[in-house]
Amino acid sequence: MHNKDKTCWNCPAAILNGNVEFRACGQSVSDIRNKITEEGLLIECARRPELGVFEPSITFEQCPEWRETKYGYMLKDMRVVILGIDGYLGWTLALKLAKIGCKVSGIDNYLRRKAVTEKNSKSVVPIAYMEKRIKTAKEVHGVEINFREIDLLNREELSSFLEETKPETIIHYGEIPSAPYSMVDAEHAIKTQYNNTLGTLGVLFLIKEHCPEASLIKLGTMGEYGTPLTGRPIFEGLFPADAVISWQGQEWSMGGELTPRDPASFYHVSKVQDTFNVYEACKYWWLRSYDIMQGVIFGVHTEEVSVHKDLRTRLDVDEWFGTVINRFVSQAVLGIPLTVYGSGEQIRGYLSLEDAMECMTRLIASPPEPGQYDVVNQLSQLYKVKELAEIVAKVGSQNHGLMVKIQRVENPRVEADEHPFLVVSKKLREDHGYDPKTPLELEVDRMFSLLLQPEIQERLESIREAVFPQTWWNGNHKTSMTLEIYEHGTREIIGYRPTLVTRSESHQTKPTIVNESEPYQTQVQDIKYGDET
């Protein structure tokens, strides 16, 4: 088990109020580290008070409070609070965690349900209200989920909730997750940053007050990084120790510093703003956090949600909240040629809903250390948008008998059309035992099977207007013009070849331009789709 040798040092049950007061001021980090080295460090255990005061050296393997799971050793009955538990990811994760024995609580203010309505859209997969979801979860999976309707910005109510639930892990999904929504106008931009940035800042103060030992697992986005045109590596949030900057004949290590960010919308800016608030809270107060730079999510399936229709998670396919693959599948079902923006050469990281849940569970299992702000690039694979359209069109036509075309439309966004993309995503794989499980084609096939059900097809039809891009980054609101329509399988994919570095031994990191005569293939280092082991 990859995390068997971690100790109390990483355990949220360890109360660090022995001989070192981490959350004091007037002492530098190096002073604290020296003190720990020289005098040792003493803790108490919130779960085993009978141990008294001791050194934090019990390993997860040794400790009876930790038990082996397929995601690593995990704290027994871990108390997890999910902010945004009604959402696409929040609900799916709640079921998964409850099923493996966590005590799951969560809040939501149904902001997402309301914002989708504002777009004249709805989840194309019908979803039950929270009360019914929870009842069905109890019947089908035998689990208890503790829900309260609370707005993240209502710190008084959230404060009481945290006091009651005493979380050991907090999953922060409670944000508005849409780039186009944030670009509609000033009101939407401000609402996004108000909800996301100030909401998160308030949460940090509450964690400090109620549960400073809890691990905060916060959803960011790969879109914080932008697409550096030099092709320089997109590291995992912080420069690695062996990254060196040179200038005018001198060199300095950049190790540990935040890498440059170049967010792609005011929504993405809000995520960068969060990054800095969380980073600072870890520095000032010794909170601990994984900031998840997640690729674009797609799909509908996990074992827990697929088993009963009242347990399904939402699926948005409108231009505000629908991510690209989810939109493509719905367009294929609707008979709309798949809308590729601009050249379609944009490269992004992707992962299925199921893989995302697997990653999150592994991160929950192995909390960071006190004071540790760590960033994880959470994605399974890199694709060009054009390539995704090809795959969706192929699965739709071959497996489901649909006639699927592809159209290039005017790009309403301001983004680089063509760019190299060299992404590092090693931590989940090397430190947390993650291997992507769901090939894109498999999940796309599952999506077609679900979306072609008559009831869902009917819902899809009813929101047809909401699927097409209309929100322009320059503030206009108009339907993007079609530039061309083509048959899938008729275009070669050329240009920059993305590179994903997943293991330390991969030294081939040079992005290359694919020669038109070579067949195009995404260059992947050591990616394998594994069984659960």
- For the segment 195-214, give every residue that binds a copy of itself (CB under 8 A): 197-198, 201-202, 205-206, 208
Within 8 A by CB and 6+ apart from 62, the residues are none
**Distance in Å, CB of 521 to a copy of itself, minimum:** 22
Q: Which of 197, 221, 302, 438 is catalytic?
A: 221
- The whole-angstrom separation of Cα 353 and Cα 92 is 8
- The whole-angstrom separation of Cα 424 and Cα 378 is 10
- For the segment 404-433, give every residue that binds a copy of itself (CB under 8 A): 410-414, 416-417
User: Closest CB to a copy of itself among 57 and 479?
Assistant: 479
The three-state secondary structure class of 342 is: coil
Of 21-29, 121-129, 360-368, 375-383, which segment contacts a copy of itself by CB under 8 A? 21-29
User: Closest CB to a copy of itself among 209 and 458?
Assistant: 209
**Distance in Å, CB of 206 to a copy of itself, minimum:** 8
- The whole-angstrom separation of Cα 303 and Cα 409 is 36
33 binds a copy of itself (CB under 8 A): no
Phi-psi label, residue 77: left if phi above 0, alpha if psi -120 to 50, beta otherwise: left
276 binds a copy of itself (CB under 8 A): yes
Site string for a copy of itself, 305-324 (x = CB under 8 A): --------------------
Q: Which of 103, 218, 271, 426 is catalytic?
A: 271
Active site residue 522: no
Q: Distance of alpha carbon 73 from its chain centroid, rounded?
A: 22
- For the segment 134-163, give every residue that binds a copy of itself (CB under 8 A): 155
10 Å CB burial of residue 243 (0-12, 13-18, 19+) is: middle
- For the segment 362-391, give every residue that binds a copy of itself (CB under 8 A): none
Size of the site for a copy of itself (CB under 8 A): 75
* Binding residue for a copy of itself, selected from 33, 135, 232, 503, defined by CB under 8 A: 232
Q: Are strands 338-341 and 373-378 parallel, antiparallel or unpaired?
A: unpaired
- For the segment 253-272, give every residue that binds a copy of itself (CB under 8 A): 253-254, 257-263, 265-266, 269, 272
* Binding residue for a copy of itself, selected from 476, 490, 517, 533, defined by CB under 8 A: 476
247 binds a copy of itself (CB under 8 A): yes
The phi and psi torsions of 408 (rounded to 5 degrees) equal -90, 130
**Distance in Å, CB of 236 to a copy of itself, minimum:** 13
User: Closest CB to a copy of itself among 9 and 473?
Assistant: 473
- The whole-angstrom separation of Cα 508 and Cα 491 is 28
* Binding residue for a copy of itself, selected from 9, 17, 23, 110, defined by CB under 8 A: 23
Look up residue 134 and give its two tokens. 């929870």
Whole-Å CA distances, 318 to 220, 327, 403: 21, 7, 21
In the chain the first and final C-alpha atoms are separated, in Å, by 11
User: Closest CB to a copy of itself among 135 and 510?
Assistant: 510
Q: Are strands 66-69 and 72-75 parallel, antiparallel or unpaired?
A: antiparallel
The H or E element spanning position 523 is strand 523-524
- Residue 195: name the closest of 82, 261, 275, 111 by CA: 111
User: Closest CB to a copy of itself among 146 and 197?
Assistant: 197
Q: Are strands 250-253 and 244-247 parallel, antiparallel or unpaired?
A: antiparallel
- For the segment 490-519, give every residue that binds a copy of itself (CB under 8 A): 507, 509-510
Of 237-245, 324-332, 362-370, 492-500, which segment contacts a copy of itself by CB under 8 A? 237-245
* Binding residue for a copy of itself, selected from 473, 486, 520, 529, defined by CB under 8 A: 473
Active site residue 221: yes
- For the segment 163-192, give every residue that binds a copy of itself (CB under 8 A): 183, 185-186, 189-190
* Binding residue for a copy of itself, selected from 38, 131, 242, 505, defined by CB under 8 A: 242
What value does the CA radius of gyration of the chain take, rounded to a whole number of Å?
23
* Binding residue for a copy of itself, selected from 123, 146, 221, 273, defined by CB under 8 A: 273
**Distance in Å, CB of 258 to a copy of itself, minimum:** 5
User: Closest CB to a copy of itself among 88 and 239?
Assistant: 239
Q: At what angle do helices 199-210 and 266-285 cross, to 10 degrees?
A: 20
Q: Which of 73, 88, 173, 267 is catalytic?
A: 267
129 binds a copy of itself (CB under 8 A): no
- For the segment 327-356, give every residue that binds a copy of itself (CB under 8 A): 342
In b/e form, how buried is each residue of 465-482, taking b as 16+ CB within 10 angstroms? ebbbbbbbbeeeeeebee
The phi and psi torsions of 274 (rounded to 5 degrees) equal -60, -45
**Distance in Å, CB of 316 to a copy of itself, minimum:** 23
- CA 195-199-203 angle, 5° bins: 165
Q: How many alpha carbons lie under 13 Å from residue 134 in its C-beta half-sphere? A: 14
Site string for a copy of itself, 79-98 (x = CB under 8 A): --------------------
Provide the annotated active-site residues.
221, 267, 271
